Structure 1
Amino acid sequence: MAWFNKDELKKFIRKNNSVLVVWDVQEALVSSIFNREEFLQKLKELISAARQYNVPIVYTRITPLPERFQPPYMRRTFNPGDIVKDVYPQEGDVVLYKNTASIFVGTNFELMLRNAGIQTIIFTGIATDIGVETSARHAQTLGYLPVIAKEAVSSSDKEAHERSLANMNRLMLVLENNEIIERWKSS
């Protein structure tokens, strides 16, 4: 059970105050998720709607620090690859290179949001239980309205994905694509 009124919060989702975050949809990660085809279809649907309603799109891309400067527990070779071609950024989209599980740490994302008057962050991508949840919680702590597009997030661990969605649903909006798109359409 949520501690807030979901219908009241939905009113804050408008095309002129939203950003769509496409979190780490990179080749190695997409190939490891449990629902690849369904995920990509729903992500494409939301990206298409964002373009239609002129909602800015910010892609994140894992960019490890040089090995010497990585935390010891993260010193391993991992190449996540490029953003998958099915949802590749287009002209006008932003690609944010980051090296933490929060979109706010080590980036100018918060400054970009303030400059653009954005208050609502729609989160999509991989992995629900790692970077998506971490960034959404961080966004909420900073006073933004995080919205999880539950059909357009995924993980390699289905149980962790479902547990993360259940946790976030108690704290913030976790919505289907049609609910998000309808808010953009009517605003």
Structure 2
Amino acid sequence: MSKQDDLKFGAPGDTAVHLCVDMQRMFAEQTDWHMPWLARVLPKIVAIAEAHPERTIFTRFLPAPAPGHGVGMWRRYYERWASMTMEELGPEMIDLVPELSRLVPPARTHDKYVYSPWTGSNLHLELRDAGIDTVIVTGGETDVCVLSTVLGAMDWGFRVILVRDALCSSTDETHDSMMNIYMNRFGAQVETVSTELLLDSWHPAGFKAVQ
């Protein structure tokens, strides 16, 4: 077992959910936002989601409808990335990859228009109302939407367990840099583990779908 495998606050249980970030067709297929690593980490994510689909939430990033849409800098963003607007992509490209979409339901999706799933939503309240205090984070990108997901979870006081071999990014350099930050700068609030350790440790006692 790696020295990085550390559940210092104990095994997650009935108060944990798996929050899987943006494993969508537009990142898996040959688009301008293609993530080459996605296919490599997908089997790990599938294993976690299959183990507890009723406790899995898949976030989906929804691009602007067309170039010229968006508020402030997001308008400029979609001028730069006009090819990744809904008008150009087609609505089917926001879907989860097939290996994960088959798990919905009992897993569910949570749509967002920005990097963070916490902005403009009541996700934190939904989780608190369901008795959730821990989020297990997988998906992509390590240095963009995963980063926003982790920072928001910390701000709302959730325990964060980051599954390091179930994360993907577009570049080795920024992925490695962010993993160093997660494990060191945020080491008091973020636990980094392997898929193997998570699956060996996470055994919730009862069925409880997160609505």
CA distance in 2, matches of 1:40, 1:154: 9
2:28 to 24, 27, 30: 30
TM value normalised by structure 2: 0.76
Mapping of 1:44-123 within 5 angstroms? Answer: 44-51=46-53, 56-66=55-65, 67-70=68-71, 71-76=74-79, 77=82, 78=84, 79=89, 81-88=94-101, 89-123=103-137
RMSD: 2.0
| Structure 1 stretches lacking a partner, 5+ long | 1-5
Cα deviation, 1:150-172, whole Å, max 9, x if unaligned, reads: 11110111211111111111211
Mapping of 1:137-148 within 5 angstroms? Answer: 137-148=151-162
SS of residue paired to 2:59: strand
CA distance in 2, matches of 1:103, 1:186: 24
1:182 to 182, 188, 200: 200
TM superposition shift of 1:109: 0.9
Structure showing greater radius of gyration is 2
SS of residue paired to 1:19: strand
Contact kept? 1:129, 1:160, Cα under 8 Å = yes
Determine if the alignment matches structure 1 residue 124 to structure 2 residue 138.
Answer: yes
Identity of aligned residues (%): 21
1:164 to 178, 189, 192: 178
Contact kept? 1:30, 1:126, Cα under 8 Å = no
Cα deviation, 1:65-114, whole Å, max 9, x if unaligned, reads: 45433423322331453211011142122211101111110122111111
- Alignment correspondent of 1:3: none
Contact kept? 1:22, 1:123, Cα under 8 Å = yes
How many residues align structurally?
A: 177
**Range moving further from structure 2, 57-66 or 116-125:** 57-66
- Alignment correspondent of 1:41: 43
Evaluate the alpha carbon distance shift between residue 57 and residue 64 of structure 1 in structure 2; reply closer, same or farther with a 3 A threshold.
Answer: same
Contact kept? 1:100, 1:106, Cα under 8 Å = no
TM superposition shift of 1:48: 1.6
Letter in 2 for 1:87: L
| Structure 2 stretches lacking a partner, 5+ long | 1-5, 206-211
TM superposition shift of 1:186: 7.9
